Amino acid sequence: MKLLLNQDLPLLDALAILAPDSSKTTLRSWLKDGRVCVDGIVEKVGNIVVHQNQTITVGAKPDPSIDGLRVLYEDSHLIVIVKPSGLLSVAANFEKSKTAHAILKNHFRPRKVYVIHRLDQDTSGVMLYAFSEKAYEKLKTIFADHDIVREYIAIIEGHLPTPKGKWESYLYEDESYYVRTTSDPERGRLAITHYEVLDTNRSFSLVKFTLETGRKNQIRVQSKAAGHPIYGDQKYGTFGSPAKRLFLHAQGLAFKHPITGKEMVFESPLPQEFKRHFKNV
């Protein structure tokens, strides 16, 4: 929003002209958050006088964050965040304190924070946690019934034979916690992944994956089995030069709110590291 003043006014009064439907409390919060600029300079004091022909602009609302976790949505039943690459979703034998779950528990204490699903440590993107036991139970059912849309974007090595397709296999985890594919339904659990190629360059493909099931390391394992591992995947055999991160990002999550039934759709933009490899993203 932008306003060119035609008279001298206190900044708070000028903001009231710019946004007549907003309360004084809201206008003061804009100032506090550093969203208000006068001639391009941030101004946080509401009673200063802004002069005629000066321009007031109000910037976009800053993304709230909790210790590095960007918050996309929060209510009394659930919270949706964006987890950065390199951070565990939940505690592991080798790390119990620096996890997304621990950060949320510490921030919202004494409220409980329930784990609904997980992302691999090196995968970034949208995650969901519950605050109430009722929401937790219903969300677990939603995930178990696959009544949810989970979309990922990845950079894979090489080029797939078709622009769209489906991978279907059975996955099992061996004694070394390495997930493998098998054609034996008695040995593994069914994993189905749909893919769509979004862009290609000489060495890589940018691919959207939609999960029909949600098995551990599903996309990574099936990409490897197809001969096109995810760029930067040190566990599942990247063929090319080493990368600074795993190029797998949970971009989208859509589901019905477990309490209200409202359709909820969330999306996290691709990290900058992905955009350096492709011009059209």
Q: Does pLDDT of 88 surpass 80?
A: yes
Q: Which of 19-23, 28-32, 38-42, 139-143 has the highest mean pLDDT?
A: 139-143
What whole-number distance in Å separates Cα of residue 111 and Cα of residue 197? 42
Q: Does pLDDT of 133 surpass 90?
A: yes
Label residue 196 by pLDDT band (50, 70, 90).
Answer: very high
CATH number, residue 14: 3.10.290.10
Q: Does pLDDT of 60 surpass 90?
A: no
Q: In terms of Cα–Cα distance, which of 189, 252, 261, 198 is closest to 221? A: 189
Q: Averaged over 184-209, what is the pLDDT?
A: 95
Q: Are residues 197 and 126 in the same domain?
A: yes
Q: Are 196 and 207 in contact (CB under 8 A)?
A: yes
Q: Is residue 115 part of a domain?
A: yes
Least confident of 64-68, 163-167, 240-244: 240-244
Q: Does pLDDT of 212 surpass 80?
A: yes
Catalytic residue list contains 120: yes
Helix H or strand E encompassing 235? none
- Per-residue pLDDT at 108: 93
Q: Is residue 100 part of a domain?
A: yes
Given 39, 58, 77, the domain boundary residue is: 58
Q: Are residues 103 and 152 in the same domain?
A: yes
Kindly name the residue from 13, 39, 120, 147 that is annotated as catalytic: 120
Q: Is residue 89 part of a domain?
A: yes
**DSSP 3-state assignment of 217?**
coil
Domain count, the chain: 2
- Per-residue pLDDT at 96: 63
Q: Are residues 127 and 53 in the same domain?
A: no
Q: In terms of Cα–Cα distance, which of 196, 191, 194 is closest to 181? A: 191
Q: Are 229 and 157 in contact (CB under 8 A)?
A: yes
Q: Are residues 183 and 266 in the same domain?
A: yes
CATH number, residue 267: 3.30.2350.10
Q: Are residues 172 and 201 in the same domain?
A: yes
Q: Are 212 and 219 in contact (CB under 8 A)?
A: no
What whole-number distance in Å separates Cα of residue 211 and Cα of residue 152? 8
**DSSP 3-state assignment of 234?**
coil
Q: Are residues 94 and 166 in the same domain?
A: yes
- Per-residue pLDDT at 243: 74
Q: In terms of Cα–Cα distance, which of 154, 153, 122 is closest to 246? A: 122
* Gap between the terminal Cα atoms of the chain: 27
Q: Are residues 187 and 216 in the same domain?
A: yes
Q: Is residue 165 part of a domain?
A: yes
Q: Averaged over 145-169, what is the pLDDT?
A: 95
Q: Is residue 280 part of a domain?
A: no
Domain of residue 29, residue span: 2-58
Q: Does pLDDT of 238 surpass 80?
A: no
Q: Does pLDDT of 59 surpass 90?
A: no
What whole-number distance in Å separates Cα of residue 42 and Cα of residue 58? 10
pTM recorded for the entire structure: 0.78
Q: In terms of Cα–Cα distance, which of 237, 241, 234 is closest to 204? A: 241
Cβ-based neighbours of 233, under 8 Å, separated by 6 or more: 220, 223, 224, 246, 248
